[in-house]
């Protein structure tokens, strides 16, 4: 469940706010000689100032592929390729774009909650199987299910906290 919360946090970091950060693009997959490869494995990512991202690939031949991958994302970025590096200027967020990004963040949070429920379901099945195989008593089964529910609620609350912080971050800028 902790890994599920960490995954949601990573997903949230890819949603841009008003500030340029390499985390926005590092997970984007680029078709590198037929293999989808994370951008951070192909290039140096930097943010020299708050409104500019610079992507400097180690192999100059991959520049067009990086540009295509950036245009495919739903981040609303417009890359500028000068033949050696790709520069991405971060425009200020409009109200409409903030609303769109808020919807994206809500969708990512819901996907995180779904993964937690899936984990809870499989753990509950394991507890039921242990009881059915007579490895645990009925009281232990109910205690296990109860503690599993409490654990699930605790991790869902963490996702809700991350969501509230990201929403506030999107609205402030």
For the ranges 16-20, 28-32, 66-70, 101-105, the lowest mean pLDDT is seen at 16-20
Q: How confident is the model at residue 37 (pLDDT cuts 50, 70, 90)?
A: confident
Check whether 153 has a pLDDT greater than 70: yes
Q: Which residues fall within 8 angstroms of residue 44, CB to CB, at 6 or more apart?
A: 55, 56, 57, 58
Check whether 117 has a pLDDT greater than 90: yes
Nearest residue to 2 (alpha-carbon basis) of 145, 166, 152, 148: 152
Check whether 111 has a pLDDT greater than 60: yes
> Are 57 and 42 within 8 A, CB to CB?
yes
DSSP letter for 92, please. P
Check whether 48 has a pLDDT greater than 90: no
Q: Which residues fall within 8 angstroms of residue 24, CB to CB, at 6 or more apart?
A: 13, 14, 15, 16, 53, 75, 77
E strands, the chain, are 29-32, 35-38, 43-49, 52-57, 79-81, 86-89
Average pLDDT over residues 143-147: 93
- CATH number for domain 95-172, candidates 3.90.1170.10, 3.30.300.30, 1.10.1040.10, 1.10.132.20: 1.10.132.20
CATH number attached to the domain at 19-89: 3.30.1360.40
- Domain boundaries along the sequence of the chain: 19-89, 95-172
Q: 10 Å Cβ neighbour count for 17?
A: 19
45 vs 54: CA distance, rounded Å:
6
pTM: 0.64
Q: Which of 43-52, 59-68, 76-85, 145-154 has the highest mean predicted lDDT (pLDDT)?
A: 145-154
For the ranges 9-18, 77-86, 92-101, 104-113, the lowest mean pLDDT is seen at 9-18
Q: How confident is the model at residue 171 (pLDDT cuts 50, 70, 90)?
A: confident
In the beta sheet, which residues pair with residue 52?
49, 89
61 vs 59: CA distance, rounded Å:
5
């Amino acid at each position: 469940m902790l890994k599920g919360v960490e995954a949601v946090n990573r997903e949230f970091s890819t949603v841009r706010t008003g500030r340029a950060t390499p985390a926005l693009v590092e997970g984007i997959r680029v078709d590198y000689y037929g293999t989808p490869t994370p951008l951070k494995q192909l290039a140096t990512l930097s943010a020299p100032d708050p409104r500019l991202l610079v992507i400097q690939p180690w192999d100059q031949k991959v520049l067009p592929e990086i540009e295509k991958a950036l245009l495919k994302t739903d981040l609303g970025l417009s890359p500028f390729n000068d033949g050696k590096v790709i520069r991405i200027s971060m425009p200020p967020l409009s109200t409409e774009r903030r609303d769109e990004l808020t919807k994206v963040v809500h969708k990512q949070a819901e996907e995180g909650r779904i993964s937690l429920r899936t984990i809870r379901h499989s753990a509950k099945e394991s507890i039921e199987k242990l009881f059915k195989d007579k490895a645990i008593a009925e009281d232990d089964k109910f205690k296990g299910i109860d503690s599993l529910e409490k654990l699930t609620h605790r991790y869902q609350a963490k996702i809700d906290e991350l969501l509230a912080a990201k929403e506030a971050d999107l609205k402030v800028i």
